[in-house]
Amino acid sequence: MLAGKVGLPEISAFDPLTGLALPMLSNLDGLRAFTQSPGDVVALVAAMPPPPPLNASTATTPELQKILVAHQALEAAQAAQDKEDASLAGLLANAANDQGKPAGWQDLLADQVGNLKSSGKQV
């Protein structure tokens, strides 16, 4: 035999990031409001102010602090990659500039290729 109160089950949900309880709708008719006028709800969401940027003062929970540390690590890695890319681009630019001034081995190679062409051999 089961004993208890007859009614709809109570559901509670918590935001995993903040740990705050999410508000539950008390009447089931409210659930249909979104499907009846989704454009109004989208307009309301668009009118909401953007969330504040995540920084040391807004990272108030351990989860947000972990996200902040990961974001800072990602920014540092991207900055290092950009610096490496700029360094590589500089090396390529220097190499392109040096092509106008061939070194001794390049002159020797150019002479040998010229000799092959004049002798009729394929390069």
pTM: 0.38
**pLDDT given for residue 47 in this prediction:** 92
Cβ atoms of 58 and 52 within 8 Å: the answer is: yes
Tokens read off for 18:
């903040």
Rounded to whole angstroms, how far apart are CA atoms 25 and 12? 10
The pLDDT score that the predictor gives to residue 13 is 74
- Copy the structure tokens of residue 84: 């490496």
- pLDDT mean by block of 10 residues, the chain; 123 residues: 64 73 62 63 86 86 88 89 77 65 62 66 52
Task: Give one DSSP letter per residue of 46-109, joined into a string.
Answer: HHSPPPPPP-TTT--SHHHHHHHHHHHHHHHHHHHHHHHHHHHHHHHHHHHHHTTS--HHHHHH
- Domain borders along the chain are 54-119
* pLDDT given for residue 2 in this prediction: 59
